[in-house]
Structure 1
Amino acid sequence: MASLIIRPGTRDDIAPLDALLARSYPRLLAADYPPSVLVTAIPRISKAQPALVTCGTYFVALRDGRLLGGGGWTRAAPGSGRRGAASVGHIRHFATDVEAVRQGVGRALMERVLATAAEAGVRRLECMSTRTAVPFYRSAGFEVLGEVDVPLDAGITFPALRMVRLLSSREGG
């Protein structure tokens, strides 16, 4: 098996990310969410955000030229567009292809995210996790703070869990 390449996202990654999200989210989330939630949420959460993908702190994972995952961090909280404290970062739009789950893709992306965030002075990373992804984030050192409803559109919310992880300067390398 060829090695995994992790690199910053580019505009050329947007369409493959859209396809990955549309293919993977319905299958991966089905065990943890009722169809009534998924039918309204999937069309809204399965689109790559061009500004996020190209921001420099969003990364993609490729093997043999095939995009297998994406994820990153920003200082701006999801949906706000506003930067918070310089020491706080937010995990953004992590996803692994349904055919590549448990093959180290998410772990490799998270290692890059943790390292780049720590190098940039981030000491606290927050995320809004799907119910499905909680075990992944826990394995990366995140702790659940509580349940939240993430607003997706007028009158449409998505049940998630707010999680946090403290970083040390040593993680930056």
Structure 2
Amino acid sequence: MIRVRAAERADMAAVDALLARSYPRLLKPDYPPSVLVTALPLISKAQPALFGCGTYFVAEEGGAILGAGGWTRDRRRRGLGHIRHVVTDHRALRRGVARAILDHALAQARAADIIEMECWSTRTAVPFYAAMGFQIEGPMQVPLQAGISFPAIRMRQRLS
């Protein structure tokens, strides 16, 4: 049974390994090698600030972390949240891991008076987010580092 819980600092190494193992396999069909060679080293690392924040979660089964993801509150716009760094182990796809994480995250966001959630989706994850009720707003570039950006799709969902 998949269990979703708040991520802790002690989970960072496992999530880092999950991202490094799964993002290359999951993103390969939707991005050219020229994008992946520059972006993967930057996006396939756990973001330390998310661990222990209370709104970033891991999904585990039998003690193994199968996925991670969550949300953060927008600092400038009241009622707006952002989906953050969602990943499912490529060996656990189609088992409800990401759905369990996102359902949990959206429920927590609603309870925290978030009325709108924004997502910067990979091309690969657009069908998943659409199935979860997000609407496509259009393509965007996510700045990763000076001179390096990552093509994404901006998506949005009203929670109220």
Taking structure 2 as the reference length, the TM-score comes to: 0.98
2:76 and 2:69 mapped to 1: Cα distance? 20
State how 1:70-149 maps to structure 2 within 5 Å.
Answer: 70-76=68-74, 83-149=75-141
Give me the CA root mean square deviation. Answer: 0.7
Which residues of structure 1 form unaligned runs of 5+?
77-82, 169-173
Match of 2:24 in 1: 26
2:37 and 2:50 mapped to 1: Cα distance? 24
Q: Secondary structure at the match of 1:17?
A: helix
1:148 and 1:137 mapped to 2: Cα distance? 16
State how 1:142-157 maps to structure 2 within 5 Å.
Answer: 142-157=134-149
* 1:51-71 per-position Cα deviation (integer Å, ceiling 9, x unaligned): 112210001000000000000
Q: 2:64 aligns with which of 58, 63, 66?
A: 66
Q: Secondary structure at the match of 1:14?
A: helix
Q: Secondary structure at the match of 1:30?
A: helix
Q: Secondary structure at the match of 1:27?
A: helix
Taking structure 1 as the reference length, the TM-score comes to: 0.91
Match of 1:43 in 2: 41
Q: Are the equivalent residues in 2 in contact too, given 1:86–1:121 (CA < 8 A)?
A: no
2:41 and 2:135 mapped to 1: Cα distance? 28
1:121 and 1:98 mapped to 2: Cα distance? 33
Aligned partner letter, 1:15: A
Identity of paired residues, percent?
Answer: 59
1:93 and 1:123 mapped to 2: Cα distance? 20
2:136 and 2:51 mapped to 1: Cα distance? 26
Q: Secondary structure at the match of 2:114?
A: coil
Aligned partner letter, 1:92: R
1:24 and 1:149 mapped to 2: Cα distance? 21
Q: Secondary structure at the match of 2:30?
A: coil
Q: 1:16 aligns with which of 14, 17, 28?
A: 14
Aligned partner letter, 1:164: R
Aligned pairs, number = 160
